[in-house]
Each structure stands twice: as structure tokens, then as C-alpha cells.
Structure 1
């Protein structure tokens, strides 16, 4: 049994950026040489989701519209009131309450089977890193367990 860890580094372009990371994950899996086992795919950020979904542009557009309705950027969030907020602050703090609220409705990780050296995905399933905040550098952690 092997346990292998990798980090995938990404640069997102905009809020609600859906980045298909399936091929990057498959490349790491192939390099690991694991034929059967499991893989955990985890965002290392509170405002980035990991989502298994269909790579169909109109569907992705629909998902973006729903997320924007759930937590609009234009709403005033207590998290963004830096006059009263006192914890988890940094020098370059941005107003991103909308991103945190969107994140509560999406997973930050997924756990998939590895069969015959490949991810066990359905016909249309792809793995996305979803930026819920602004463009920035991001990391996705992979943990591969198997033989």
C-alpha cells in the first residue's frame, strides 16, 4: 500500500472561475503508478470549491447564476465590515463575504475511486476547482492511497 501526496498549483482568472483539473489529476495519478485505490482531492482555501460536474458551458453558466443569486456580491456582509470585525484579518484583507457564503453550499473536497490506474468517473463527470473569490494563486492537495 502506498500513500502519495501532491499539490496542484493554479492561477484563477476571475470570480466564479471553473477550472477543469481532471487531466492534471490524471497525470499525477499516472505518475504515481497506483492501479487501484482512492484519491482525495482537497482545496486548501475557504473560498475555493472542488466540484464533480459536467463540463457543459451552459450548465456552468446556470450554476454561476444560481450561486450569484444565493450570495450576491452586492449584498452587505458583516464579514466585510472591517470596522467591527476583529478576527482572521490580514494586511491585504478584501471584502469577500459573498465568496464565503457561496462556499457553504459547495464541497471543498471529493473522494474518488481509482480503478485500473484511472479515476472512476461517469461519462460526463469532470473535476473542477471553482474560484468563489477574486483571481489569485490557489492550491489543490491530492492524497492518493492504493497499490
Structure 2
């Protein structure tokens, strides 16, 4: 079994931003030479997340609205005494910091409408995403 890893730098431009990174991750998979195994996408930041869903603008807006309703920016959070970004941390907890996708015949085994997203909750910032692929060439 071989393991390949690559860090993807990213600059976000808004406080809350959902960015389709599927093509970037596909590029890493192609560079890895791995044909069958698993691929993991991991955000190295506690105020961001990685999720898989459909890349449809109204759905992405719905996701942002759902997160705002579940974790309002202006609520009273203990952590805000330190950084005033507790909502960003809590939203990241809800979505999670990584996703794992099977790799079959050199391609990610995503469903027809699935894309991989980086979710920024405390931008704009410079971010780093770690993509690791393990398997057989």
C-alpha cells in the first residue's frame, strides 16, 4: 500500500464561504497515482469544515441559512470573550473537519451530484487543506 499526501493552500474572501474544492482534490488524486484505496480531505483549522453535498446555489444558500439558524452569530457564547468567533467553532463542529471518499479505478467514488466543499466560518483567511490518498497504484 502506498500513501500520498499534499497540502492545498487556500485564500478565502468572506467570513462565511462554501467553496467547491472537488477539482483541486481530483488533481491531488491524479498526482498520487493511486488507483484503488481511500482519499481523506482534512481541514487544519478549527473554524472551518469539510463536507460533501450537491453544488447547487440555492442549496448552498440553504446550508448557510440553516447554520445561521442553528448557531447565530450574535448569540452569547463563552468563547467570545477570547476571540469573538465562537459561532465559527460551533458551526465547524456541526459539519466536521474531514471527509473520506473511496477511490475506485483512479476516481473518487462520489455520487452523481456530490461535490467536496471547504466551509469557511471565520474568514477571510489563508487556509491549508490536507489531502491524503492511501491505496494501490
Aligned residues: 136
TM-score, structure 2 normalization:
0.95
Higher mean displacement: 98-107 or 54-63: 98-107
Whether 1:22 aligns to 2:4 is: no
RMSD: 1.0
Q: How does 1:79-98 map to 2 (within 5 A)?
A: 79-82=79-82, 94-98=83-87
Which residue does the alignment assign to 2:7? 7
Tell me the alpha carbon deviations over residues 57-98 of structure 1, each in whole angstroms, 9 at most, x when there is no partner.
Answer: 00000110010111111112211114xxxxxxxxxxx41011
Which residue does the alignment assign to 1:72? 72
Secondary structure at the residue paired with 2:94? coil
Which residue does the alignment assign to 1:40? 40
- Deviation for aligned residue 1:16: 2.1
Segments of 5+ residues of structure 2 without an aligned counterpart are none
Secondary structure at the residue paired with 2:128? strand
TM-score, structure 1 normalization:
0.89
Structure 1 outlier segments of 4+, above 3 Å? none
Q: Which has the higher helix share?
A: 2
